[in-house]
Amino acid sequence: MSAWAAYVFPGQASQKVGMGLSLYESSASARAVFDEADTALGFPISKLCFDGPADELTKTVNVQPALVTTSIACLAAAREALGRKLPDPAFMAGHSLGEYTALVAAEALSLPDAILLVRERGRLMYEAGIKAPGSMMAVIAFDRGPLQEVCDEAGVEISNINAPGQLVISGAVDKLERAATLAKERGARKLIPLNVSGAFHSTLMEPVMEEFGRVLDSYSFQSPRMPIVSNVTGLPLTNGHEMREELLTQLRRCIQWQASVEYMTAQGVTTYYEIGPGTVLSGLIKRISPDAQTINLAEVEDISALNEPPSPA
């Protein structure tokens, strides 16, 4: 295990049609992951990842198992190709949905259980969006203190603390519009409405919390092979009970990604492997910890690049 390495896994919005196809075609280990997911779900999530259509892939109920499957397939392909060249991490972490991927990677939850669980999570999140309609908005280049004042006045919540100057708020649509007006008046550089079906990571998820708790009770969580850094507290999770509580709580609580990265960096992590589609987390990590090295593993060529011998000096 390397004290300087961490694996991080992306969340919703990192998806794209075609994700995982090169892995499926070139890696027996990745192919086995997609086949296992297809069998568990009873329909070809692999085809949705590879061929779309985009509007079906991006539905919350589909994109959550699709992203977990693709990220685990990427990890499997990397381990197959790189062997000991891919260091074992001291920590794992995932952004929101990515926390479920981290559980699978750390052997705290089986892949079939994880994808069935996140499909149900996606269904309930969509249902919460119907029962308590809302949305989310990214707020760029605005400090947390002034934004909290805006939220208190408008009746919305900070739902993601992603990096310095990169925050997200959640709430009812009319209240988000009020918050956007206030934030612009007070100096926010940019506000970006997010294409989501509800006010995730806020109290508007309350209508489905009890049912989601019952869903979680039907799954078994093991102690992870290495600590998983919590989205809610920014501190390590080390046993199954903590993980069950974490997954329930993070549905309605603010995602503390900045705190998670700050904790891992303080423990000596200098290299972050972003495993799965996209490069969102790498960008956030560089803003939080500018000296950190980030390595993206999303496609076959990313893995091949790590397998090449270093260039002579």
Q: How far apart are alpha carbons 146 and 142 in whole angstroms?
A: 7
Question: Cα angle at 180 between 177 and 184, to 5 degrees?
Answer: 145
Contacts of 300 (CB under 8 A, 6+ apart): 22, 23, 26, 27, 77
Q: Is 201 a catalytic residue?
A: yes
CB 276 within 8 A of CB 71: yes
- Residue 141 is given by DSSP the state S
Q: What values do phi and psi take at 117, rounded to 5?
A: -65, -45
- If DSSP codes are grouped into helix, strand and coil, which group holds residue 89? strand
Residue 148 burial by Cβ neighbours in a 10 Å radius (0-12, 13-18, 19+): middle
The catalytic position among 14, 22, 96, 289 is: 96
Q: What is the DSSP string of 51-66?
A: H--HHHHTSHHHHHHH
Q: What values do phi and psi take at 197, rounded to 5?
A: -95, 5
CB 159 within 8 A of CB 202: yes
Q: How far apart are alpha carbons 18 and 153 in whole angstroms?
A: 43
The catalytic position among 95, 197, 201, 230 is: 201
Q: Is 96 a catalytic residue?
A: yes
The residues annotated with a catalytic role in the active site are: 96, 201
